[in-house]
Amino acid sequence: MRQLELILFDATRYGEAVRRILALDGDGVRPMPLEGGEAPGEALKAMREANAAGLFAQSHSADAAMGGLWLYFSQLDEAHGIVQRVPSQEGSFWHGIMHRREPDAGNAAYWFRRVGRHACFPALAEAAAEIVERYPGLKFVVRSEWDPFEFIDFCEESRRAPRPAAMRAAMEIQLAEWQLLFDFCARPVD
């Protein structure tokens, strides 16, 4: 398994075509909503014209990366159609994120149980701890190991009883999660 580190997200790492698509809405650094969301029409057009093999030819997991790209643009149905056919930890991880955003906490937990421990988890725990420090008083504790089930609960609580700080923190953590997993799936294999 590749070594993973906390990354400063740079859309140019994944080739010009992916960079152009991400540039249509935030360059891969725009926090995604915890539930639902809309994408610009030009982004959807570009995504529909693209294919996983073309965008991610040398990547760790082209289909998983494509599913993640659809999730970035809040297209849950399209993402689901792809990731449910990816029989790997990464497919399960994206599947869990997609169901968490529906929101369907029980189904998200099912898919995260299938993930087990992922190579992204240590860097995600580190990123989440840094984010939580910026929001004193949050009812979310990041332990030394990432716990996706606690994050599901935090997202659910943030949706049910919206508090601006909790919502922002959850969205920032979700973005770090997306960036780390997308990088793991999409970056060309050395």
pLDDT tens track for 134-158? 998 898 989 889 999 999 999 999 9
The answer as to whether 171 is a domain residue is yes
For residue 190, the model assigns a pLDDT of 72
The answer as to whether 3 is a domain residue is no
The answer as to whether 1 is a domain residue is no
Greater confidence, 5 or 25?
25
Cα–Cα distance for residue pair 180/190, rounded to 1 Å: 17
Cα–Cα distance for residue pair 57/116, rounded to 1 Å: 27
Assess whether pLDDT exceeds 60 at residue 187.
yes
Assess whether pLDDT exceeds 70 at residue 7.
no
For the chain, the domain total comes to: 1
Parent domain of 84: 11-186
E-strand ranges in the chain read none
Residues 115-122 have a mean pLDDT of 96
pLDDT classification of 37: cutoffs 50, 70, 90? confident
The answer as to whether 4 is a domain residue is no
Assess whether pLDDT exceeds 60 at residue 96.
yes
The answer as to whether 51 is a domain residue is yes
The answer as to whether 63 is a domain residue is yes
For residue 3, the model assigns a pLDDT of 38
The answer as to whether 101 is a domain residue is yes
Report yes or no: 124 and 180 within 8 Å, Cβ to Cβ: yes
Q: What is the pTM for the complete model shown?
A: 0.94
Assess whether pLDDT exceeds 80 at residue 95.
yes
φ, ψ of residue 138 to 5 degrees: the values are -70, 145
Share of the chain above pLDDT 70, in %: 96
Query: In the 3-class helix/strand/coil scheme, how is 79-118 assigned residue by residue?
Result: HHHHHCCCCCHHHHHHHHHHHHHCCCHHHHHHHHHHHCCC
